[in-house]
Structure 1
Amino acid sequence: MAGISGSMAHVSDGLFTTAIAVYALAMIGYTAEFAFSRVGRKLDASAAPARELVGAGGPPVVSAPARPAVPAGSTVLAGSAGGGRRGKADRIGRWSVLVTVLGALFHTASIAVRAIAVDAVPWSNMYEFASVAGLIGVAAFLAVLWRLPQLRFLGAFVLLPVVLMMFLAGTVLYSQAQPLVPALQSYWLAIHVTLVSIAEGALMTSAVLTVLYLAKSRHDRRSTLPDYQPGTIGTLAAKLPSAAALDKAAYRIVAFSFPLYTVAIICGAIWAEAAWGRYWGWDPKETWAFIVWVVYACYLHARATAGWRGRAAAWINLTGFGAITFNFLVVNIVVSGLHSYAGLS
């Protein structure tokens, strides 16, 4: 059995590495679409109408109808002509989505095989948790594309932190496949950690969209100045979708994730009572989980308050994800407590 488990773990590691490579390929495709498409360029609705040419003694020549203006926030792709033939950048973007789905399939297979190798749910240490959270981040982006396909070319920005996190997980945070320690041999592991990984993986995507929203809103404010000269960030921000679309997508993800995170904390408290005889003991992990919950609760409250919408609420969102990152890296590795299950090897 040990040999079979080791072989399955080796297969899981291979699938994990393959998923990273496929995500990187998709990221290159999204980058190409973002760089070479005419995203963000709008047709001029105020262009002067074409002249009517009147032949000598003949009827007037009817000019071609003016091309309709593109609604704000929509995109115009290079090579597209009035909704006709799709440009090369558009085709690259569509193929990138398919490659992303393929990477997600490899990623899912890696987690499933790892579960077989350890004979348990595979998120009992930092490596496994990071892998699951990365998959959820990709799934959240694909779900956003289902509702807002015009955000497709932002895949490079979303996949970059996923690839970096998976690389960190596969190197610095890697842990050999092994049976669960006795403290984790509970059905609450599947419930509590699953909810946390789904919520935090989705919140990573929300944080990326929030950063893009801040860049876009900054560009929009400065572009009204007469002497504005956009730099590299400004040039990139000019191609982004409208700030409202980015802000809306980031908010929807938080609105989806926050109830899951709330239930996860409640389930963790119930598990703590069964394992340690108390619901809450202000363990470092518990404390920072509560801090994360409070920050995101403030974000949702800020969104419901007229004076705190926009950039102020966006910074609260990023503060929440910063607390998640601190809880995952610093608390797990540096601070000792009852939740010391980093599993580093």
Structure 2
Amino acid sequence: MPVNQTLSNFSDVAFQSAFIIYVLALVLSLIYYGRMQGVIDARRALARAEKKELVAVGDGGSTVVDDVPELAEVERLEARANKFGGMTQSLVWLGIIVHAVSVVLRGLATNRFPFGNLYEYVLVTTAFMMIGAAVVIQRKEWRIVWPWLLVPILALLFFGGTKLYADSAPVVPALQSNWLPIHVSIVSTGASIGMLSGIASLLYLLRIWQPQGQERGFFGTIAKPLPSAKKLDAMAYRTAILTLPVFGLGIVLGAIWAEAAWGRFWGWDPKETVSLISWVLYAAYLHARATAGWRNWKAAWINIAALATTIFNVFFINMVVSGLHSYAGLN
């Protein structure tokens, strides 16, 4: 079926627009991040001053602490910072809408689901990541992590739009199957949730290295606005619980498709093998996370290894290693 070039061009424009919106959201999120650092410093200074006053009163004396902000001033600083957090959230949702339009137009242009090449896979996977992240970060306390999510997503979009871009075209015969949208959509959903889980584990390790109220040096300054290690660990764990069955279902459906297309369920193709390794690592992380003695940084490293293998599978296996899935990066 012929490609509708007009819709394809509109899809490209929507992709570029979404990228620009995400960049603006990143700028606002960084301003919010910086302002919240000031708010935290002010709140801690106020808490220290109040503690000194209580000690002085208990000793029967008095104390005067200079350069300590009043509570009303701290609240004003926080309100101003939260405005940037709210604007970031609004821009993110706008970017997601435009991003989704790009996906839909790409599919309409080719009259198929947009899973025919690696550019389209990155386009869809990042859309799923953004939707999942935006849903999780609806609560104000989580908006502070947007820079940590937007940077890798923008990197994926930039690489996909420059190095992986492919013109709209019919898919190769091997992908002309009803299994394509089922298998790839479920796998990409599982992978996107897994990436969010891995990023949460990275932030968890940063936070336990720089505990709240005890931050030191450059990395301490960076870690200061982050939520507690307990909350970050909980986010990583809960998203991994979703990743395991969704990603596993995608692998099983891929095996069923492989039997129909290649006459076997499993052949240890490089992409199959690394996908299975990623799934096993997610299972190992959940097991370690629930095991006494592993409920700390050790389990988090397993989740980060799962993130690394997922990224390795998307790029290195598709672009460098030759296998039955090698067409994934081509039209």
| Structures share fold, TM-score greater than 0.5 | yes
Instruction: Go from structure 1 to structure 2 and tell me whether the alpha carbon gap of 1:77 and 1:107 turns closer, same or farther (over 3 Å shift).
Output: farther
* Structure 1 partner of 2:32: 33
Q: CA deviation at 1:196?
A: 0.9
Q: Deviations over 1:136-156 (max 9, x none)?
A: 11112112123x430102111
Q: CA deviation at 1:311?
A: 0.7
User: Size of the alignment, in residue pairs?
Assistant: 312
Task: Give yes or no for the alignment of 1:275 onto 2:266.
Answer: no
Higher helix share: 2
Q: Deviations over 1:47-83 (max 9, x none)?
A: 535999xxxxxxxxxxxxxxxxxxxxxxx997526xx
Match of 2:123 among 131, 141, 144: 131
Verify the 8 A CA contact 1:299 1:317 in the aligned structure 2.
yes
Larger Rg over CA atoms: 1
Task: Give yes or no for the alignment of 1:314 onto 2:300.
Answer: yes
CA–CA distance in 1 between the matches of 2:182 and 2:175? Answer: 12
Q: TM-score, normalised by structure 2?
A: 0.88
Q: CA deviation at 1:343?
A: 3.2
Secondary structure at 2:137's aligned position in 1? helix
Amino acid at match of 2:75: S
Per mean C-alpha deviation after superposition, the further-off stretch among 297-306 and 230-239 is 230-239
* Structure 2 partner of 1:325: 311
Q: Deviations over 1:205-225 (max 9, x none)?
A: 2222221111110012993xx
* Structure 2 partner of 1:243: 229
CA–CA distance in 2 between the matches of 1:199 and 1:35? Answer: 32
Task: Give yes or no for the alignment of 1:144 onto 2:136.
Answer: yes
Q: Deviations over 1:19-66 (max 9, x none)?
A: 0000010111111011012454456274535999xxxxxxxxxxxxxx
List, as ranges, runs of 4+ consecutive aligned residues in structure 1 with deviation greater than 6 Å: none
Instruction: Go from structure 1 to structure 2 and tell me whether the alpha carbon gap of 1:215 and 1:329 turns closer, same or farther (over 3 Å shift).
Output: same
RMSD: 2.4
* Structure 1 partner of 2:60: none
Verify the 8 A CA contact 1:77 1:90 in the aligned structure 2.
no
Instruction: Go from structure 1 to structure 2 and tell me whether the alpha carbon gap of 1:326 and 1:188 turns closer, same or farther (over 3 Å shift).
Output: same
CA–CA distance in 2 between the matches of 1:145 and 1:13? Answer: 28
CA–CA distance in 1 between the matches of 2:312 and 2:275? Answer: 10
* Structure 2 partner of 1:88: 80
Structure 2 gaps of 5+ residues are: 58-70
Per mean C-alpha deviation after superposition, the further-off stretch among 206-215 and 321-330 is 206-215
* Structure 1 partner of 2:68: none
Verify the 8 A CA contact 2:319 2:329 in the aligned structure 1.
no
Q: TM-score, normalised by structure 1?
A: 0.85
* Structure 1 partner of 2:287: 301
Percent of aligned positions that are identical: 39
Q: CA deviation at 1:238?
A: 2.0
* Structure 2 partner of 1:174: 165
Instruction: Go from structure 1 to structure 2 and tell me whether the alpha carbon gap of 1:211 and 1:342 turns closer, same or farther (over 3 Å shift).
Output: same
* Structure 2 partner of 1:197: 188
Amino acid at match of 1:80: E
Amino acid at match of 1:290: L
Verify the 8 A CA contact 2:282 2:302 in the aligned structure 1.
yes
